[in-house]
Chain A
């Protein structure tokens, strides 16, 4: 495939994420400026941290007068799940040039990772790395631009709309999971196991660790069961 076609495809696949990120980013911008961050600071946070959950949490903690160090530690805990996702992505795209692989993993989020797992074929195509990079980068742009607009223009999106959009990311996860489950119901069992585990671990651990643990345990158990079946 030509470079330009891969870039176009990256844009097309990125569209749903751009659409879902934008209102959430605007909401972040509004909340962050209400919490006292300047437009410069809140846009910078979106540019350099690029993690919706961690940024929202940071704003809440700033409002509660939590120390910056605690916010940084909480960010690490919450975002450590991206290590597991990046690992899975990097392993699958091992054939792509290192610099492009690094560039793409830099923009790994829950959503971009989930979409790349359905877009497996690009690995084998010529210029596939351009597809991955374009896709993750336009998602990033939507987040940064949305934050800036939220902080600069203020509340352009009515509350009811931005609250409705909070389901968008979950709907996206469901839309990504369903086709895989239809192709192999065992993937669905692994997902359900992860849900139950995440609920259980959530009673004892912080959300970040809970997601990491339930992902590792559910996929690990699934792997052991599938391997025993195969042998």
Chain B
């Protein structure tokens, strides 16, 4: 299989799950509780995306990810704009490397 064949197949298996829901919500009338459940998805997804991934940003040094995350947490609690939260965490990790 050529590299392009692989790219096209990777593209198909990524795109179909991405766009399918856009059609589904038009075709099927979901009961109210589905909507209420879907409303909670973002918070669960964010949790799962953050941990344990964050402790693996530098292999074998979980503390770096933990400190970077903590800096982001503190900056976010103080309502800094997202750009400063990101840059603050990046700077913290930079100084620890």
Q: Which residues of A contact B (CB under 8 A)?
A: 15-16, 19-20, 37, 41, 44-45, 48-51, 54, 58, 67-69, 71-73, 75-76, 79-92, 94, 98, 101-102, 104-106, 108, 110, 113-114, 117, 160-161, 163-168, 170-182, 187-188, 190-195, 197-199, 202, 210-211, 214-216, 218-220, 222-223, 226-227
> Are B38 and A177 in touch, CB under 8 angstroms?
no
> Are B45 and A171 in touch, CB under 8 angstroms?
no
Q: Which residue of A lies closest to B1 (CB)?
A: A68
> Are B10 and A58 in touch, CB under 8 angstroms?
yes
Most chain-A CB neighbours within 10 Å: which of B8, B15, B17, B54? B17
User: Top 6 A-B pairs ranked by shortest CB distance?
Assistant: A191-B47, A194-B47, A171-B89, A83-B17, A171-B72, A178-B76
Q: Which residue of A lies closest to B45 (CB)?
A: A215
> Are A91 and B35 in touch, CB under 8 angstroms?
yes
> Are B9 and A114 in touch, CB under 8 angstroms?
no
| Cα distance A178–B9 in the bound complex, in angstroms | 37
Most chain-B CB neighbours within 10 Å: which of A73, A171, A180, A219? A171
Chain B residues contacting A58 (CB-CB under 8 Å) are 6, 10
Q: Is the interface of B mostly helix, strand, loop or mixed?
A: helix
Q: Which residues of B contact A (CB under 8 A)?
A: 1, 3-11, 13-15, 17-26, 30, 33-54, 57-58, 64-65, 68-69, 71-73, 75-77, 79, 82-83, 85-86, 88-94, 97
- 4 further A-B contacts with Cβ under 8 Å, apart from A91-B35, A194-B45, A223-B33, are A79-B18, A173-B49, A187-B40, A219-B37
> Are B38 and A91 in touch, CB under 8 angstroms?
yes
> Are B37 and A223 in touch, CB under 8 angstroms?
yes
Chain A residues contacting B5 (CB-CB under 8 Å) are 68
> Are B44 and A191 in touch, CB under 8 angstroms?
yes
> Are A177 and B47 in touch, CB under 8 angstroms?
yes
| Cα distance A73–B23 in the bound complex, in angstroms | 24
Q: Which residue of A lies closest to B56 (CB)?
A: A166
| Cα distance A95–B49 in the bound complex, in angstroms | 28
> Are B47 and A106 in touch, CB under 8 angstroms?
no
> Are B35 and A171 in touch, CB under 8 angstroms?
no
> Are A117 and B85 in touch, CB under 8 angstroms?
no
| Cα distance A178–B78 in the bound complex, in angstroms | 10
| Cα distance A210–B23 in the bound complex, in angstroms | 26
| Cα distance A58–B5 in the bound complex, in angstroms | 13
